[in-house]
């Protein structure tokens, strides 16, 4: 059988793409989320300060050349790389258009930047979930008030925050390392910060190290400990970046993976795998047990309430798309800040201060919000369509790990999911 070859052209185009990402970073401080590649690339981008129009011309030239090389003649990984570069470059052009003043609707923007469009839900859809919570939550009055009061009673005492968070991180790491081969030198540090629009952030520094920042502006409820530890750390962002560095940057010398443009399809994969990673590391029953035995006592909470708390939490998660609806209406100018805050308090059950913080996230990152919940759903459907169901953890972690360490784009995941589901069952 004739061996399929990796294209040397692709290697050159990939480097041009990576340099172009750094060039956009000269105009947009949020664009380059991580870079640990050759320092001279960055120095050149700073020196050259390529104007936006010139960036677009170069992007078009790379895209045109990409079209001349056929992924069908490449091995599977190179084919994926070709698709990845194409989608990332198309998103780069969209971002440059936005920097030049082009406005897109929320859905147009998410399709162009993140290669996906979130489904639309009406208020009735969320009301059904609110009725379920109404039955479960103690007290009387509006569900949003009772939910806020219930969450307030499950806040981690400030003095215990670091101990709780470190315990959640250690457990997430242990559970992930049981399935994924992590380099011995991987390392993660935690910092507590204030005055941000997000609640947690992973800054990947290269050399298998991450800095996680946790925002302490608002009280932190107990569920955030495991959520943040798994999402930002293990097997979420930190592990994703570690595997890309290990398998693509170091082993294959695919240096374009040493730069991560925030407003790109890669973000949907990153946020989707990070969110799905929470239930990978902590299947529901195991999570309740760990919370009851370890985290609730550490946080100064009554462990007997852990089971009920996660019953409420599971139902609450069905409201995740309410945040997208608020963002879509707000970004499309159909509602103002006050109405967005009302939507978020009523349907996403956020306390008013949290909802206000979220609208500032909408201002900064707009359609980025879809990457979390739609990303999680796309990743879950994909992993399960490949046989990685919760009943088969070996296959599940295997598929998840393969996804983390190869170039992927959201529309490609959707296509593969659909074709796997059409295969006849034996």
Query: Least distance (Å) from Zn ion to the CB of residue 366?
Result: 16
Q: Which stretch binds Zn ion (CB under 5 A): 150-158, 274-282, 318-326, 418-426?
A: 274-282
Closest to Zn ion by CB, 82 or 238: 238
Length of the chain, in residues? 426
Q: Which stretch binds Zn ion (CB under 5 A): 110-118, 140-148, 263-271, 398-406?
A: 263-271
Site mask, Zn ion, residues 222-261, x = CB under 5 A? ----------------------------------------
Closest to Zn ion by CB, 274 or 409: 274
Asked if 12 contacts 255 with a C-beta cutoff of 8 angstroms, the reply is no
Asked if 16 contacts 58 with a C-beta cutoff of 8 angstroms, the reply is yes
Residues 324-343 interacting with Zn ion (rule: CB under 5 A): none
Query: Least distance (Å) from Zn ion to the CB of residue 235?
Result: 13
Query: Least distance (Å) from Zn ion to the CB of residue 258?
Result: 19
Give the CB-side neighbour count of residue 217, counting CA atoms within 13 A.
14
The token duo for 422 is: 């059409």
Q: Which stretch binds Zn ion (CB under 5 A): 47-55, 129-137, 270-278, 400-408?
A: 270-278
Closest to Zn ion by CB, 271 or 291: 271
Nearest to residue 279, comparing CAs of 310, 247, 243, 248?
310
Q: How many residues bind Zn ion (CB under 5 A)?
A: 2
Q: How far apart are CA 276 and CA 268, in angstroms?
A: 12
Closest to Zn ion by CB, 257 or 368: 368
Q: Which stretch binds Zn ion (CB under 5 A): 267-275, 345-353, 384-392, 412-420?
A: 267-275
Q: How far apart are CA 85 and CA 245, in angstroms?
A: 17
Query: Least distance (Å) from Zn ion to the CB of residue 290?
Result: 22
Q: Which stretch binds Zn ion (CB under 5 A): 191-199, 222-230, 272-280, 312-320?
A: 272-280
* DSSP per-residue string spanning 365-409: HGGGGHHHHHHHHHHHHHHHHTT--TT-HHHHHHHHHHHHTS---
H helix or E strand, kind and range, residue 203: strand 200-206
Query: Least distance (Å) from Zn ion to the CB of residue 232?
Result: 6
Where in 166-280 does DSSP place strands (E)? 187-193, 200-206, 209-215, 259-261
Q: How far apart are CA 282 and CA 105, in angstroms?
A: 37
Query: Least distance (Å) from Zn ion to the CB of residue 272?
Result: 10
Q: Which stretch binds Zn ion (CB under 5 A): 48-56, 115-123, 252-260, 268-276?
A: 268-276
- Please give the backbone phi and psi of residue 253, each rounded to the nearest 5 degrees, phi first: 65, 35
Query: Least distance (Å) from Zn ion to the CB of residue 271?
Result: 5
Q: How far apart are CA 157 and CA 219, in angstroms?
A: 9
Query: Least distance (Å) from Zn ion to the CB of residue 266?
Result: 12
H helix or E strand, kind and range, residue 35: strand 32-35
Closest to Zn ion by CB, 269 or 312: 269
Q: How far apart are CA 398 and CA 387, in angstroms?
A: 10
The token duo for 97 is: 């258009």
Q: Which stretch binds Zn ion (CB under 5 A): 84-92, 214-222, 253-261, 266-274?
A: 266-274
Closest to Zn ion by CB, 7 or 209: 209
Nearest to residue 362, comparing CAs of 335, 327, 387, 389?
327
* DSSP per-residue string spanning 68-79: HS-GGGS-HHHH
Q: 204 - beta bridge partners?
A: 210
Query: Least distance (Å) from Zn ion to the CB of residue 229?
Result: 12
Q: Answer whether the bond into residue 235 is a cis peptide, omega within 30°.
A: yes
Q: Which stretch binds Zn ion (CB under 5 A): 6-14, 36-44, 264-272, 342-350?
A: 264-272
Nearest to residue 417, comparing CAs of 388, 395, 394?
388
Query: Least distance (Å) from Zn ion to the CB of residue 277?
Result: 10
Q: How far apart are CA 155 and CA 414, in angstroms?
A: 38
Closest to Zn ion by CB, 357 or 386: 357
Query: Least distance (Å) from Zn ion to the CB of residue 392?
Result: 27
Residues that bind Zn ion (CB under 5 A): 271, 274
């Amino acid at each position: 059988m004739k061996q399929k070859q990796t294209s040397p052209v692709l290697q050159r185009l990939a480097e041009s793409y990576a340099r172009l990402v750094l060039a956009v970073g000269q105009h947009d401080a949020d664009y380059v989320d991580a870079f640990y590649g050759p320092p001279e690339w960055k120095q050149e981008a700073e020196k050259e300060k390529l104007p936006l129009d010139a960036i677009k011309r170069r992007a078009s030239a790379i895209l045109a050349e990409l079209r001349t090389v056929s992924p069908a003649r490449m091995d599977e990984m190179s084919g994926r790389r070709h698709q990845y570069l194409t989608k990332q470059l198309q998103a780069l052009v969209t971002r440059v258009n936005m920097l030049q003043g082009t406005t897109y609707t929320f859905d147009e923007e998410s399709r162009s930047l993140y290669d996906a469009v979130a489904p639309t839900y009406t208020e009735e859809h969320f009301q059904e979930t609110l009725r379920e919570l109404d039955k479960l939550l103690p007290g009387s009055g509006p569900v949003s008030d009772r939910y806020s009061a219930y969450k307030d009673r499950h806040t981690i005492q400030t003095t215990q925050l670091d101990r709780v968070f470190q315990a959640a991180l250690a457990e997430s790491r242990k559970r992930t390392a049981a399935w994924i081969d992590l380099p011995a030198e991987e390392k993660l540090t935690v910092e507590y910060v204030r005055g941000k629009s997000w609640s947690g952030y992973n800054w990947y520094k290269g050399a298998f190290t991450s800095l996680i920042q946790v925002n302490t502006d608002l009280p932190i409820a107990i569920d955030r400990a495991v959520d943040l530890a798994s999402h930002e750390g293990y097997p979420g962002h930190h592990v994703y970046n570690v595997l890309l560095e290990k398998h693509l940057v170091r082993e294959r010398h695919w240096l374009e993976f040493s730069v991560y443009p925030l407003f790109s399809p890669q973000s949907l994969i990153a946020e989707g795998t990070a969110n799905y990673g929470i239930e990978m590391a902590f299947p529901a029953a195991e999570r309740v047990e760990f919370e009851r035995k370890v985290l609730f006592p550490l946080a100064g909470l009554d462990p007997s309430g852990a089971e009920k708390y996660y019953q409420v939490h599971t139902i609450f998660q069905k409201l995740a798309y309410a945040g997208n609806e608020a963002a879509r209406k707000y970004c499309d100018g159909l509602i103002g800040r006050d109405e967005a805050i009302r939507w978020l308090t009523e349907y996403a059950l956020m306390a008013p201060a949290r909802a206000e913080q979220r609208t500032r996230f909408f201002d900064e990152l707009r359609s980025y919000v879809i990457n979390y919940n739609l990303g999680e759903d796309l990743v879950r459907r994909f992993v399960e369509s490949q046989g990685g169901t919760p009943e088969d953890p070996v296959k599940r972690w295997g598929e998840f790990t393969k996804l983390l360490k190869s170039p992927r784009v959201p529309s490609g995941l959707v296509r593969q999911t659909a074709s796997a589901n059409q295969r006849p069952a034996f």
